[in-house]
Structure 1
C-alpha cells in the first residue's frame, strides 16, 4: 500500500485588522463631516461608493452607489445639511438630497476626472470643481443637472488637485488653487483674473496636492508631506512644517552637544534635522534605500550612515535639501550595523561576517582595519576612545576585540544571551557595554572584567531593537518590537523600571538620549516622540 503523504502545515497567517461591518473595500479617498449632525461622517472610496457613518454607534447607516469609478471628493452643503455633493474619476458630479432617498441624485457630466469639489460658502446654491485637465468651473444647482457651468478657467497646465475659497466676506471671490504643476495660485473670481502665482519648487515632491485658507493666509500641502504657510500677496512662504511621511528606522543625536538637536531617517532614505523645541529645521534625501544606522560625527558637523543601498555616506550639516553635500562610498555588500567613536572619529561598519574600521570621511583615510569573522553577526558597537569593538552574533555571543597598532585582536567572548544579539551600545565613559537580544533580554557588562553587571532586564515581550545610555551613564533605555520603551536605572532593581507603554504602535526602531531628562524615540508609525523624565 502506498503511504499517504502528510500535508505540510501552513504557517499561521497574521490576523487582518478587523473592520466594522459595511466598511469600504478599497482606499478611502475623501471624508466630509456633517456640520449640523456632528455624529455623521461621509466617506468616499476607490471602491466607487460613498458611505454614511453614525460615529456614536460606529455603524455604516447608508451606502450611495451613484458613481462608476473612484469617488475622489465629497462635500456637505453649508446651508442644507442633508445635501451631499460628490465627484469622481467617472467624470461625474452627483448631488444627493438624502431627504428624498439615497438612491436619488442629480448628475453633471464633465470633460475630465474630478480632483476636488467645494461649495461656495458665500452662495450655497453653487459649487466649484477642479479637474485633472487643470480646469476650474462653477455650477449653479438651481439650473438643474446637466446644466453648463456659470464660468470655467484653465487654472493650471496639469491636474488641479485642490481649491479653497476665502471664507472672509470682505474678501469674497478670492480662490486659491494647488496643482501638480508645483504652483499655488490666487484668483479673483469676481473678475475671473489671476492675482498671483507662487512656484513651490521643481522636484516631483513639490507638487501641491492640497490647499486651504487659515485666516488671511493660504496653507498648502506638498506631495513630500510639507505643510506650507503662504503669503500669496508677497509671493513667499512664511513658514514650512516638514517631517516624515513614511516609517522611521533610525535616530541619531549627540547628548553632549549644546541644544536639543537630533536626526531621524525613514525607510526610503530621507533624513530630517530637528530641534526639540522648534521642530524640523531641514531635510535631505541621503540614501536611496533604507538606512541601517546613523550617527552624529566629526564634532556635530557631519552625519555618518550606512544603508541597504550598500553605501556608507558622510552628510554635511545642516541639512539643506538637494544642495546638501553628501560623500558616498560604495560598500562591498549589505551592511548589518554601524557605530562611531567620537574621540578617534572612527566609524565601525559591520557586514554579516566582516567588520571594517573607517577613519574620518569617505574621502579621508578610508578603511584602515578590517577583520573577517567566522560567525554570522547582526550588531556592533565601538567604545568612545576607539580601543574596543564589540560584535553581536546570531548565536547569542558577544565578541569583544581590542584595537592595537591598526589591527583587531579578540579580547573576550561574553556568553549569557539566549538569542541573537540584536542591539548593543557602550556607555559614554567606556566602562560598560549594554546588549539586547531577540529573546527580549537586556544585559549590562563590565568592560574590564567581562562580568555581567546588571541582569534580569526581561520585561519586554519581544525582540530588543535599540539601546541608549543617559549622559550620566546611570540609566539604560531600551526599545522593542513590542512597541514599548523601558528605562532601567542601574542603581535600582529591574522592578523599579519606567515603562512607556505603546510608545510606537508598530514597534520601536530607534531611540537616543538628548539630555539626562529627555529621550527621543522613533517607530514604524512614522512618528518621532520626545519623552521628558519628571
Structure 2
C-alpha cells in the first residue's frame, strides 16, 4: 500500500484582537503568504484551494516575506527566530537561521537586491536588527524606539532607506546601507501599526490607532501631509494595515471599524468604502491586515476570513473562510459533505462531491461553543457542543431551534442509522440517549469516554477502565448484552463500527487499536498498534476492508482488516496531532488536525 497527498486545504491566518497581522505576496503577485500555527502557508490568490506549507519552524510563526527575487522566504516566530529558506525547491531547504531579537518577530522586510533583511518585533536588548540573509552579518544599527516595533519597510531603490513604526507612537527613519538612525517621525498620537513604501519609492505611508494616515517623502522622510485630513467619512476605529496599488496611485486601509477604504493619493480624497460583515457589529469582522497584489486586493478579518475587495463594490466580491484554530471534530455526511469544527467553535463544510477546496461557513444558530463530537447519518449531522447542547445541521446550516439541552458537555456523540436517536457520553461521566428532543440518562456504570452506534442499532461504550461494553438500543433504553471487547490497557478514547456493523474498532489513550466482531466482542486483531499516542479518531472505508486512524502523534495510519501487518503510515500528517480521519471513498482519506488544515490522501492498496 502507498499514499500521495492529493490536496492541502490550508488554514486561514491566525489573528489576535487589537494587533495587526502581516500578509505578503510572492514576487509575481500570484500567491498570498502568511503565518498559521507553526507553519507558513503559501496560497494561490486566483485558486485559493491550491496551497502548500513550510514546516521548518518549531514555534508558532508570526510573519513571512518573500524576497523580490522570488527565490527565498524569510519567516519569523514568537521566539525571535528568523529562518530564510528556499521558496522554489520542493524540499524548501533552509539557507540560514538567525536570532535577531529575544521576543516575537512582528515584521520582516527585504531590500530590493534580496540581500539585506530587517526584522523587527519585541526583545530585551532591542526591537530589531539589520542583517544579510546568507550570513547574518549586521548591516546597520537600530535605535530610537522604546517599545515593541510593529512594522518595517525598506525602500526598493537607491538611495537605501528604512522606516519602522512602534507602540511608542513614533516612526523612525534610517539612511543606509549600512543603515543608521536619521530622524524620529512623531506625527501620530497613538500606536503606529503599519508602514509601507509605495512601489515607486517616491513616498511611504503610516497608519495607526489614532485613525490617521500620514504621507512622507520616500528619500528625505519629510512629512508631506495627512491623507484626506478633512474627509467626511474617516475611519472610526484603529487602522491596522495599509497597502499601495501597483501604480502607487491608490491606498487601501483596513480598520477595526469593520471597513476598508480606498484613497486617491494625488487627489487626496476618499474613493470608496467597503463594509465587511454586512453591517454586523461582531468583533470577528474587524479588519487586521491587508494586501494589494497585482489586480487583487485582500483584507483579513479577525475571524481569519480573507476578503477580496474591489473599488467598485461596497462589499467583498469573494470571501475565503476556513479554520484558524485546531480542528476538534469532523463528520462526513451524504453526499460527501465534510463538516469540520474547530476549537473556537467555528463550523465549516467541504463539498467532496463537487469541486472541493474552499470551505463554506455553516450558518444558523451554532452557539459559538467548541464542538467536542460530531456524527453523521445520511445528510444529518449531530454536533455535541461544550455549552451543554446538542445541535443538528443539514444542508450546510444548523437547524433553527434544534438545540437540545444536555446535563453536561459531551465527550463523544453517535447517531443511529435512521438519524432519529443520538447517544452521547458526557463530561459528568454519564451517558444519555436523545430522541425526539427528549434526553434520557442511561445507567451504564463506570466512567464512559466514547460511544458508537452500529447500522443495526448496537451501541458500544468505551470506559476509563479500559473496557468496551456492548448494549442494545430500544427506544431510549440501553440494555447490556454482556459482551465486552478485551485487549486494552489504557482508557478508551474513540470507537467506530464498520459500515455494515459487523466490526468494531476501539482506540485508546496509549495508541492501540483493537478490532472485534459485533455483537460478540470476539477479537479479530490487536495488531493495529503503531501509534505512539492517544487515538483521536477512526474512520472505516465504505467496503469495510480498511480503516484509517488519527492520533496525537500527528500520524494517520491506514489499516487492512485481512492483512493486519500491512499498513500505510502517513507520518507527520498534521503538526501537533491528527484529530480525525475518514474515507470519502475506498481509495481516498480526508484527515484534519491541530494545524487547522484539511488534507486529502490518495491511497493505493496492495
Does residue 1:226 correspond to 2:301, yes or no? no
In 2: Cα distance, 1:326 partner to 1:52 partner: 58
In 1: Cα distance, 2:474 partner to 2:227 partner: 76
Q: Check whether the contact 1:419–1:439 (CA below 8 A) recurs between aligned residues.
A: yes
Report what 1:347 is aligned to: 422
In 1: Cα distance, 2:578 partner to 2:147 partner: 39
Q: Check whether the contact 1:49–1:63 (CA below 8 A) recurs between aligned residues.
A: no
Q: Check whether the contact 1:187–1:194 (CA below 8 A) recurs between aligned residues.
A: yes
Q: Can you list the C-alpha shifts for 1:14-58, whole angstroms capped at 9, x where unaligned? A: xx96866635333322222333124x4322213360133544347
Mark the runs of 5 or more structure 1 residues left unpaired by the alignment.
1-15
Report what 2:406 is aligned to: 331
Match among 458, 464, 471 for residue 529 of structure 2: 458
> What's the CA shift for 1:467?
0.5
Report what 2:594 is aligned to: 524
Q: Can you list the C-alpha shifts for 1:421-453, whole angstroms capped at 9, x where unaligned? A: 111101110111001112221111011432111
Report what 1:407 is aligned to: 477
Alignment of 1:466-481 (within 5 A): 466-481=537-552
In 1: Cα distance, 2:429 partner to 2:141 partner: 58
Report what 2:5 is aligned to: none
- The number of aligned residues is 496
Q: Can you list the C-alpha shifts for 1:140-191, whole angstroms capped at 9, x where unaligned? A: 25555xx4433433441211111112113xxx52221111111111222211
Q: Can you list the C-alpha shifts for 1:224-266, whole angstroms capped at 9, x where unaligned? A: 1111112221334222111111111111113xx23x4211111
In 2: Cα distance, 1:408 partner to 1:52 partner: 68
Look up the SS of the partner of 2:473 in the other structure: strand
In 1: Cα distance, 2:105 partner to 2:506 partner: 43
Instruction: Quickly say closer, same or farther: Cα 1:520–1:60, change in 2 above 3 A.
Output: farther
Report what 1:396 is aligned to: 466
In 1: Cα distance, 2:564 partner to 2:499 partner: 22
Report what 1:149 is aligned to: 224
> What's the CA shift for 1:99?
2.6
Larger radius of gyration: 1
Does residue 1:293 correspond to 2:373, yes or no? yes
Report what 2:438 is aligned to: 366
Q: Can you list the C-alpha shifts for 1:115-153, whole angstroms capped at 9, x where unaligned? A: 21111222x242111121211111125555xx4433433
Alignment of 1:178-197 (within 5 A): 178-197=254-273
Report what 1:29 is aligned to: 106
Report what 1:430 is aligned to: 501
In 2: Cα distance, 1:286 partner to 1:232 partner: 33
Q: Can you list the C-alpha shifts for 1:462-484, whole angstroms capped at 9, x where unaligned? A: 12111110111110111111110
Instruction: Quickly say closer, same or farther: Cα 1:282–1:142, change in 2 above 3 A.
Output: closer
Does residue 1:280 correspond to 2:351, yes or no? no
> Which is bigger in relative contact order (C-alpha 8 A, separation at least 6)?
2
> What's the CA shift for 1:59?
7.6
Q: Check whether the contact 1:353–1:372 (CA below 8 A) recurs between aligned residues.
A: no
> What's the CA shift for 1:498?
0.3
Report what 1:503 is aligned to: 573
Q: Structure 2-normalised TM-score?
A: 0.77
Look up the SS of the partner of 1:175 in the other structure: strand
Report what 2:452 is aligned to: 381
Look up the SS of the partner of 1:105 in the other structure: strand
- Deviating beyond 4 angstroms after TM superposition, the runs of 4 or more aligned structure 1 residues are 16-21, 57-63, 141-144
Larger deviation: 455-464 or 228-237?
228-237
Report what 2:47 is aligned to: none
Q: Check whether the contact 2:338–2:350 (CA below 8 A) recurs between aligned residues.
A: yes
Larger deviation: 153-162 or 424-433?
153-162
Q: Check whether the contact 1:517–1:533 (CA below 8 A) recurs between aligned residues.
A: yes
In 1: Cα distance, 2:209 partner to 2:251 partner: 18
In 2: Cα distance, 1:252 partner to 1:82 partner: 54
Q: Check whether the contact 2:228–2:270 (CA below 8 A) recurs between aligned residues.
A: no
Report what 2:173 is aligned to: 95
Instruction: Quickly say closer, same or farther: Cα 1:60–1:268, change in 2 above 3 A.
Output: farther
Look up the SS of the partner of 1:64 in the other structure: coil
Does residue 1:208 correspond to 2:287, yes or no? yes
Q: Can you list the C-alpha shifts for 1:460-518, whole angstroms capped at 9, x where unaligned? A: 11121111101111101111111100000112232x20010001110111222222222
Instruction: Quickly say closer, same or farther: Cα 1:55–1:248, change in 2 above 3 A.
Output: farther
